[in-house]
Amino acid sequence: MSRTEVTVHVNRESPDTLEAATTTVSTRGSFVLALRGHESPAHVHCRLADADTDASFSRHVSLDQSNYYVEAGETIEVPVGVDAEAIDDPVTGRLEVVTGYGSESVTIDVTVKPKPAAVDVDESLSKPPSRDQSADQTAAEKVLQRLFGASGLDTGTLAVLALGLVALAIATATAATIGGLAAMFGFIVVAGGVVIALALLLW
């Protein structure tokens, strides 16, 4: 993340002059005041001031030191500490830079905004949903379980039983419709297959 920097030019046009690159800054964290020297060296004084309607600014914003000597062609970085985690609402104040023993000054209006609240993420949301065994049941198995649940048989056995009954019904209808030895033989084969399948499942 790029840091916030506010630049003040010192003696760029003539001695004892200051020129701020910006007169306002809005931040959620600490930033840097860059004092950039030009034609001649200068003593520079930095200070913080509360806004007229907000006396909490100086409690949350701080300077490591106030006085600096800026050589020509030199840039001094002044750290401005901001404690945004301790505030719930924006606070405003002023950063003042003075030179020429008070004859020249610039004021930068500073607004400190509270940091965004941390979002708690439910760890269960990151886990894949577990598939309940009942969710794997087909619609037919659920119907069979509801119809034959009292029998104590599992749904797989009930499904085979139901299919066997359907097969027997079809074979019976076919034998009755077509008639003859071939139809009767087919019915016997189907019935025998169903009986064998049930025997294997139950025993």
pLDDT at position 131 is 59
The pair of three-digit structure tokens given for residue 54, joined into one six-digit string: 């907000």
CATH architecture of 5-112: Sandwich (2.60)
Q: How confident is the model at residue 201 (pLDDT cuts 50, 70, 90)?
A: low
Stretch 24-48: mean pLDDT: 94
First to last CA, the chain: 71
Give me the residue spans of the domains in the chain.
5-112, 137-202
- In angstroms, the CA 99 to CA 41 distance is 11
pLDDT tens digit string along 72-111? 999 999 999 998 888 888 899 999 999 999 999 999 999 9
If we measure between CA atoms, which residue out of 177, 143, 176, 186 comes closest to residue 161?
Answer: 143
Cα–Cα distance list, 170 to 27, 132, 141, 167, 176 (Å)? 81, 35, 21, 5, 10
pLDDT tens digit string along 124-173? 666 665 655 555 555 655 655 665 555 555 666 666 667 767 777 776 76
If we measure between CA atoms, which residue out of 58, 109, 49, 107 comes closest to residue 87?
Answer: 58
State the pairing for strand pair 31-37/75-82.
antiparallel
One-letter amino acid of 44: V
